[in-house]
Amino acid sequence: MTPFQRYQAVLRGEPVDFSPRIPIVMQYAAELIGSNYGAFASDYNVLTKANLHCAERFGFEQLSTISDPYRETAGFGAPIKFHENAVPECLEHPLADLDDISSLTIPDPWEAPRMRDRMEAIRFYREHTGDQYSVLGWVEGPGALAADLRGVSDFLMDLLEEPEACAELMKICVDANIRYAKEQIKLGADTIGVGDAICSQISGAVYEDLIWPEEKRLVDAIKAEGATVRMHICGQTKHLWPKLKEVPIDILDCDHMVDMTAARQVFPAHVVLAGNIDPVSGLRFGKPEDIVEKMRACQSEAGSGFMVAAGCEIPPGTSEENVQTLCQPLPVA
């Protein structure tokens, strides 16, 4: 069974030998090959080399194209500054005033350098690995991209003070990312990750009224193209579940504070749960025997629809022994 076959089998609810491993690696992977975060985020050659090295060394089932939240933001015109050891920095948000929404132009992914760089990563993976691995494309969710275009503080205030304008902005964001996701799928991404971290900071009521309709429209469009959807919302998401469970996602990333048993009770059996050891206290600073115990517990709580991951990305400084322990085959009973 190849890594991709194992990944697909779990998505179909079929038996496998052990749970697929789909950790997110960024700065950790870059440093493992002697590079840095800035190079990883700005050059698909570094990103693909780092991810392939991790997949081969630790046994991942999925190759990722995630690097930072500002690919689409740059496509909308934001200047981005790269740092060797930190997340890329957005120097100026493209939408300084909500009254200027009509001035936004949906970017062409092939003409926007940072968006194209991700697509080149997908092309590289498929040309060099065929169907050996799952290939994870990525788009920002409606809340996340709107927050990137406006700035987080302004966007959170907008949700309360200018809800209709926010809805209009998020429609534009989803229109842009449906286009972006389709191009990634054409190049061979079998899965599209949707990152909407800002939603954990928003009330369930606001999520339901303003963000959920566009979240669902985005996911529906990706599914219509035949791709798998992996939803990634950092933080505690329990307050979002009443509506999030109605979005037809295939994989739900669970951060470390999420109760996997409770998530399993809420989400349909076909939704795979991924996670959820604490990336810092549990993985970076944890003992190998405790990592094994935690991942066994996660698997037990999630049931057969489970994939191995940390609560969020594997942090830099994590020992290779601990990553190897996280990714050692976890047999499915």
Mean of the pLDDT values across residues 159-171?
Answer: 97
Domain of 205? 3-326
- The one-letter amino acid code at 161 reads E
Q: Give domain status of residue 60, yes or no.
A: yes
pLDDT digits (tens, 9 = 90+) for 192-244: 999 999 999 999 999 999 999 999 999 999 999 999 999 999 999 999 999 99
User: Rounded distance, CA 11 to CA 303, Å?
Assistant: 13
Q: Give domain status of residue 114, yes or no.
A: yes
- The one-letter amino acid code at 274 reads A
Q: Give domain status of residue 331, yes or no.
A: no
pLDDT digits (tens, 9 = 90+) for 284-304: 999 999 999 999 999 999 998
Mean of the pLDDT values across residues 62-87?
Answer: 97
Whole-number mean pLDDT of the chain?
97
Residues 6+ apart with CB under 8 A from 161: none
Q: Give domain status of residue 103, yes or no.
A: yes
| pLDDT band at 31; cut points 50, 70, 90 | very high
User: Rounded distance, CA 221 to CA 215, Å?
Assistant: 10
Residues 6+ apart with CB under 8 A from 293: none
Q: Which helix (H) or strand (E) element contains residue 32?
A: helix 27-32
Question: How would DSSP label each residue in 254-315?
Answer: --TTS-HHHHHHHS-TTSEEEEEE-IIIIIISS-HHHHHHHHHHHHHHHTTSEEEEESSPPP
| pLDDT band at 333; cut points 50, 70, 90 | confident
Q: Give domain status of residue 333, yes or no.
A: no
CATH of the domain at 195: 3.20.20.210
Q: Give domain status of residue 10, yes or no.
A: yes
Question: How would DSSP label each residue in 91-105?
Answer: SS-S-SSGGGGGG--
User: Rounded distance, CA 257 to CA 312, Å?
Assistant: 11
Q: Give domain status of residue 171, yes or no.
A: yes
Percentage of the chain with pLDDT > 90? 99
Tokens representing residue 124 in the block: 């590289």
Question: How would DSSP label each residue in 151-177?
Answer: -HHHHHHHHHH-HHHHHHHHHHHHHHH
pLDDT digits (tens, 9 = 90+) for 89-110: 999 999 999 999 999 999 999 9
Q: Give domain status of residue 332, yes or no.
A: no
Instruction: Decide if pLDDT at 182 tops 80.
Output: yes
Q: Which helix (H) or strand (E) element contains residue 90?
A: strand 86-90
> Structurally, how many domains does the chain consist of?
1
pTM value > 0.75: yes
Measured CA to CA in angstroms, residue 39 lies from 27, 77, 174 at distances of 10, 21, 28
